[in-house]
Structure 1
Amino acid sequence: MVQASDDEGRRLHYGEFYGLRDAPDGAGVVVGNCQAESLRIVVDGPGTPTVRVPPVHEIAPSDVPLLHRLIARASFLVAQPVRDDYHDLPLGTRQLRALLPAGARAVTVPIIRYTGLQPFQWVLRVPEVPELPPYVDYLDVRELALAAGLPLAQRLDRVTVRAVADDALAELRRRESDLDVVASDLFSRPTFDHMRTVNHPGNPIWLGLGARVLEALGSRDSPTDPGRPLLAGVQAPREAWVADAWDLADEPTDFWLTAGERVAAAEVREAQGAWYRDHPIYVERAVGRLAPLLRRWRG
């Protein structure tokens, strides 16, 4: 059997975007990072059909005319905030909104990050170090602090877990203050189903956010339940002290789930600790960038 190339597979996956299949009449577009596709799935319905497009960080220069042409005939645009000339391409939210035809609606939604359920975790890129820590793209502040020679607890008490969550919600409220739809209040009673990692929301968030987007678009439809977990390719360990802080009955886990495979949390910590020792610049920059979170951990 002949295997399709990665490029062919990508073109088939985004078939309507690349013109391999006809887009639905009156289709809209959802643009943003890796979260955008999950939102598109729950917004898509009989009254609000959509076209799947690549996440904005994967859009190549040759893709830009295709995206612009699609938006120029879209019935609506749902977009996360993207700065003008992102990656030196005209992909900013303001730039894309200007392409919409007369009468089309535009709705802005936040990029969601929340540390209340994984208060030990963050994802951080450092310009001087092109790669990220091994196994998963998430750092553990406990291993980071160990590599930096900083004293740090291995767990937080209930009050501090909730303080870390409050910090995250304050930042989310700040970023969503000038957007059309908000998400921060969806975390009033967080569970592990709400966030699989600090930047991968689960179905309760997508269905809640999708309902608000549909309302903002003037649709009376309910969000589409996909019948499967969304954005679930990577799932962090569930630590017992975090469950206790939120009065959750979930059994703790000591493994990561990546593409359906279990990887022991200890194995990830060991590999990342060795990586930090080999990348002191990453450790130095990360400690500086994560100072507020580290202060919570140091008490």
Structure 2
Amino acid sequence: MSSSTYRPDMAAAMPAPVGADRPLWIVHGGPQADPLRRLLFSATDAPYLVASTPSADVISTDEIWHLRRLVAEADAFITEPLPKGYLGKPVGMDDLVPFLRPGTPVITFPRVHFEGLHPYQVGVQPGGLVTPPVVPYHDLRTIAAVSGHTSREQAWGGGVSARALRECAAWSLVRMRMSEASTDIRVADVVRTAGASAVHTVDRPGNALMLHIARGIQEALGVTTGIPEPEIDLLGQCSVPVSAEVAVALGFDAPTSSSWSVYGKELSIEEVDEEQTRWYHDHPGILRTLLAHQHARMDLLGVL
């Protein structure tokens, strides 16, 4: 099956190749797992086969027995260190490792989440906050204005200090290092060198980070076959440029656009703000939850 015809939802239903002369690598995790599979698949003359499981964030109960069957056939298990009983289902790392054959190597990689380039952005975690309209991200500037903590003009006026933006980026790197301390592959240092293209949004890593993870997996499993640069942005279907004030504070070139790009459609930040403002007025409970959870960051960024 070629990469172009592969669908992530097919992975669990595919019988593992019996008697194949190449080992089977299984990649398991959330939305970043299948792009990793694609990178590993693209390696020149790869001495392995690779498949990804259905995303642990959306897998159905009916698919779990297929998942276990696939894991049982793995010659290497590449996984996010998801907690046991992840989202109320037995799809965490410790849930699945017992189904591996004895001696099967387990390689862990982190789920990338970095707020430093998009300090006002709040991602929607599975099982957590309700997804807002237009784009699946909340914006602390919109939240501050709707809640009455500041005016819309002040919230979006770019008055936050460069020092505060650098501090926000530094703290985000610290949290990233803490979260990936127990994984085999680490990416925090690559975030610094990747610059403004490190992430498309707080939870959509750019190609540089994804390549680093994929090559790290190969190295951990003793493979030296090269992985070429992908021709597309693997997770760039939903993205927004770094804001001008963040670019200045962190020493990047100023962006040429401020618009969102969502599956090929351009959306201005004004459109997103206006639609989400209306939505928050209809969902005051979500607004209160966001204010409580994001109080420290909003205070640092001066929007409280």
TM-score w.r.t. structure 2 length? 0.87
Alignment map for 1:1-299 (pairs within 5 Å): 14-19=9-14, 25-44=22-41, 45=43, 46-124=46-124, 131-151=130-150, 153-154=155-156, 155=158, 156-298=160-302
The alpha-carbon deviation at position 189 of structure 1 amounts to 3.0
Name whichever of 246-255 and 79-88 sits farther off. 246-255
Retained in 1: the 8 A contact 2:87–2:126? no
Shift of 1:100: 1.5
Distance between the aligned counterparts of 2:183 and 2:126, measured in 1? 28
| 2:190 aligned partner, one-letter code | L
Moved over 6 A (4+): 126-129
CA distance in 2, matches of 1:284, 1:126: 19
Give the Cα separation in 2 of the matches to 1:113 and 1:236.
15
Q: CA RMSD in A?
A: 2.4
Identity of aligned pairs, percent? 25
What stretches of structure 1 of length at least 5 have no aligned partner? 1-9
SS at match of 1:132: coil
| 1:126 and 1:286 in contact (8 A); partners too | no
Q: 2:281 is matched by which residue type in structure 1?
A: R
* Pair 61,105 (structure 1): closer, same or farther in 2 beyond 3 Å: same
Gap change, CA 1:234 and 1:219, over 3 Å in 2: same
Deviation at 1:194, TM superposition (A): 1.2
- The 1-side partners of 2:283 and 2:14 are apart by 44
Give the drift of 1:137. 0.7
Name the aligned partner's letter for residue 146 of structure 2.
Answer: A
Number of equivalences: 289
Name stretches of at least 5 consecutive residues in structure 2 with no aligned partner: none
Return the offset for 1:158: 2.2
C-alpha spacing 1:93/1:87, structure 2 compared with 1 (3 Å): same
Contact 1:193 1:202 in 2 (8 A): yes
- Give the drift of 1:278: 1.2
Q: What amino acid sits opposite 1:174 in the alignment?
A: M
State whether residues 126 and 282 of structure 1, in contact with CA within 8 Å, keep that contact through their aligned partners in structure 2.
Answer: no
1:82-132 Cα deviation digits (max 9, x unpaired)? 111223322111121222212321111111111111111112469797x42
Task: Give me the TM-score of the superposition, normalised by structure 1.
Answer: 0.88
1:123 corresponds to which letter in structure 2? G
Structure 1 residue identity aligned to 2:132: P
Summarize the Cα distance change of 1:182–1:268 in structure 2 as closer, same or farther, 3 Å threshold.
same
Distance, in Å, in 2 between the alignment partners of 1:221 and 1:11 is 22
